[in-house]
Amino acid sequence: MWTALAMTAALAYVPAEQGELTLSHVRPTYGFLGATRKDADDMKLLPGDMIFISFDIENLKVAADGEVQYSMSMELTKKGEVKPLFKREPEESKALNGLGGSRVPAFVVSEIGTDTPPGEYAITAIVSDRSTKVTKKVTRKFEVLAKTFGLVRLSLSHDPRGQLPASPIAVPGQTIFVNFFATGFERDKKTKNPNIVASLRVLDDGKPVLEKPLTGTVDKFAEGETLIPLTFALPLNRTGKFTVELKITDKVAEKSVTQTFDLNIIEPK
């Protein structure tokens, strides 16, 4: 049911402070480095989606050379069940705070299997400072809905394969790739193929920046596969605060869904 799992951390700067280990700025995001999900306060995910919980580890004990040592583990639980559905034992890690400070941005992520039953779930991240032996944890609840047509696993990347995560804050001259999947689609009874039409529009103050959206169609896909990967390349040529609108249509079932995210293009100074 839970078919993939990862835990990792990256580095960022914040002025060093003395204090107790803290997990702060906890939010669900659209992938690694992604923006906070718009349904952050009431997450309802489809089978086949992924859940990313990003947060900051603050007040780790920092060595003179900037090294911090910590461990992370995680649990997945379902409401009404005593035992965790999945449990990852603590993994020891260390990082170099090259810009100083005692903050380490981190995240946990889990893939929601396409066979996951509907219900209320929770994901818990557990962090320990290996130097002080202090442990803290944070839990976020979410609901898995029944299978239906939808858009899942939205993320941005610097490459078309989605392996180099990108942020929704960028500069002119960059090209980002918008990655997502269609799930819960139907297949033609005769050909056994789906017929998915995807489009991308960029809105500036609510108005499309182009007369026609970017579009693509998938009308052949291997039998038995339940997730169709979709990607749009989006060149960034000017500054501004934009809204990106994604729409997928199942032409067989005559259903459509739309999802948006914010994109901020700034001038480097």
Q: How many residues does the chain have?
A: 269
pLDDT tens digits, 55-109: 999 988 888 888 888 889 999 999 988 888 888 888 887 777 777 787 888 899 9
The answer for residues whose C-beta is within 8 angstroms of residue 196's C-beta and 6 or more apart is 182, 185, 217, 218, 219, 228, 230, 248, 249, 250, 251
What sign for the dihedral angle of Cα 139, 142, 144, 148?
negative
Q: Which class is domain 150-265?
A: mainly beta
**pLDDT of the residue at 227:** 95
Mean pLDDT of the 153-179 span? 95
Any idea what DSSP says for residue 154? E
Average pLDDT, the chain: 89
Query: Where do the CATH 2.60.40.3880 domains begin and end in the chain?
Result: 4-144
| pLDDT greater than 80 at residue 26 | yes
Q: Which residue has the higher pLDDT, 172 or 133?
A: 172
What's the order of all strands across the beta sheet hosting 104-111?
A: 4-9, 104-111, 50-58, 22-29
Q: Which residues pair with 102 in a beta bridge?
A: none
Q: Residue 265: is its pLDDT beyond 90?
A: yes
Amino acid identity at 48: G
pLDDT tops 80 at residue 256: yes
Residue 229, beta-bridge partner list: 181
Determine the pLDDT at residue 68.
Answer: 83
Q: Where in the chain is the domain with CATH 2.60.40.10?
A: 150-265
The whole-number pLDDT of residue 246 equals 97
* % the chain with pLDDT above 70: 93
- Buried b / exposed e across 252-268, counting CB within 10 Å, b at 16+? beeeebebebebebeee
pLDDT tier, 136 (very low <50, low <70, confident <90, very high otherwise) = very high
* pLDDT greater at residue 134 or residue 258: 258
- Pairing mode, if any, of strands 207-208 and 227-235? unpaired
Distances (CA, A) of 184 to 147, 156, 161, 249, 264: 6, 22, 22, 11, 31
Does an H or E element contain 145, and which? none
CATH of domain 4-144: 2.60.40.3880
Radius of gyration in angstroms for the set of CA atoms belonging to the chain, rounded to a whole number: 20
pLDDT at position 6 over 60 = no
Q: Which residue has the higher pLDDT, 39 or 201?
A: 201
Torsion sign (Cα): 215, 200, 44, 153 = positive
What pLDDT, in 10s, does the model give residues 197-245? 999 999 999 999 999 999 999 999 999 899 999 999 999 999 999 999 9
